[in-house]
Amino acid sequence: MATTTVWFIIIAFLWTGYFFLEGFDFGVGVLLPVLGRDDTERRVLINTIGPVWDGNEVWFIVAGAATFAAFPEWYATLFSGFYLPLLAILLALIVRGVAFEYRGKRDDARWRRRWDRAIFWGSVVPAFLWGVAFANLVRGVPLDAAHEYAGTLGDLLSPFALLGGLTTLTLFVLHGAVFVALKTTGDVRRRANRAARVMVTAAIAVGGLFLLLTQLLYGKPVTWLTVAAAVTGLAVAAVAGARGREGWAFAGTGTAIAFAVATLFLALFPHVMPSTLDAANGLTTSNAASSPYTLKIMTIVALTFTPMVMLYQGWTYWVFRRRIGTHHIPRPVA
């Protein structure tokens, strides 16, 4: 297997891990005003992801760094052509991170409500725009002969791209609802289960339509299998959620996200950024890659350190595996 193909697979793996882990973070943020009826319940929701949300974002940083090192031409064209959407995502992530840290700095209800809104919008914006960005990668964008983006912001907002954004948003909200149900007790858990039953229907409808269109327009024979696996994951989540099997439901939503990402990357390969102006202008794993020596050194580093990082992150989740409820939240001191 060519080294460029290996790195395409590694980058696909990193994005899959990011969407799987950060997906439920986004979902919890979107559901914060829905599932949390008072400040104590909202603190429970935030505490479900408190120990892990910043670690989950590391996957995004590593995916971006890996793209820069392995496929610099792809990185340059992507970040210049998608500048405004990616800037909006970065600003939203910054605001959300600040909100998590600053929310409890003052004992003031209005202060906390403002930061709660920041968490909500800081979760909605990237959850939607990531889907828009990846739908555009699969669909293709206008690239000229120099591999420069030759379109406008409006070219990135096609109906297919907007449907991709709605797909990631609904999938992440469903993933977050199931995660909250898995991690909490009492009223918050019951509301999360109800929200998951509503969201799984929306995810099947929106996500199923997007994956079907992706398959019909850009798919390959092998992607029928990944589309079927993603839909099966949603079906498992629906059945398990209805039976109160929250662990299986979470596995189902995670499977759906993983195979949805696999569908997009398989439909994209061997391109990394197709051109809608002329197929010859598109970027592929060959013409966008670094030198073979650079890829060889990167492969050694990745195979050495990636398992260590995954073991450490798995240990973190094991330490914070127990459910939490409102009785775990300390009462304010007068």
Q: How far is CA 39 from CA 77, 111, 326, in A?
A: 44, 12, 10
Could you report the per-residue pLDDT of 125-137, keeping only the tens digit for each? 999 999 999 999 9
- What percent of the chain has a predicted confidence (pLDDT) above 90? 71
Q: Please calculate the CA angle 215-157-98 and round it to the nearest 5 degrees.
A: 105
What is the helix (H) or strand (E) element at residue 105, kind and residue range? none
Q: How far is CA 247 from CA 178, 207, 269, in A?
A: 8, 22, 33
Quickly state the pLDDT bin for 291 (edges 50, 70, 90): confident
Residue pair 250/258 in contact by the 8 Å Cβ criterion: no
Q: Mean pLDDT over all residues of the chain?
A: 92
Give the C-alpha separation, 69 to 64, whole Å: 9
Give the C-alpha separation, 42 to 19, whole Å: 23
Quickly state the pLDDT bin for 333 (edges 50, 70, 90): low
Could you report the per-residue pLDDT of 258-281, keeping only the tens digit for each? 999 999 999 999 999 999 988 889
Give the C-alpha separation, 232 to 214, whole Å: 17
From 153, 285, 131, select the one nearest 203 (Cα to Cα).
Answer: 131
Could you report the per-residue pLDDT of 195-253, keeping only the tens digit for each? 999 999 999 999 999 999 999 999 999 999 999 999 999 999 999 999 989 999 999 99
Could you report the per-residue pLDDT of 299-327, keeping only the tens digit for each? 888 888 888 888 988 898 899 889 999 88
Q: Kindly state the average pLDDT of the residues 283-300.
A: 89
Could you report the per-residue pLDDT of 31-53, keeping only the tens digit for each? 999 999 899 999 999 999 988 88
What pLDDT does residue 302 have?
85
Could you report the per-residue pLDDT of 131-173, keeping only the tens digit for each? 999 999 999 999 998 888 888 888 899 999 999 999 999 999 9
Quickly state the pLDDT bin for 332 (edges 50, 70, 90): low
Q: Is 271 helix (H, G, I), strand (E, B) or coil?
A: strand
Give the C-alpha separation, 49 to 175, whole Å: 13
Q: How far is CA 240 from CA 106, 194, 253, 322, in A?
A: 40, 13, 11, 20
Residue pair 49/313 in contact by the 8 Å Cβ criterion: no
Token match 């990631």: residue? 168
The distance from CA 147 to its chain's CA centroid, rounded to whole angstroms, is 27
Token match 């109800």: residue? 194
Could you report the per-residue pLDDT of 81-93, keeping only the tens digit for each? 999 999 999 999 9
Q: How far is CA 271 from CA 67, 69, 265, 267, 289, in A?
A: 14, 17, 9, 9, 11
Identity of residue 200: V
From 164, 229, 236, 227, select the one nearest 200 (Cα to Cα).
Answer: 236
Domain ranges for the chain, please list them.
3-317
pTM over 0.75: yes
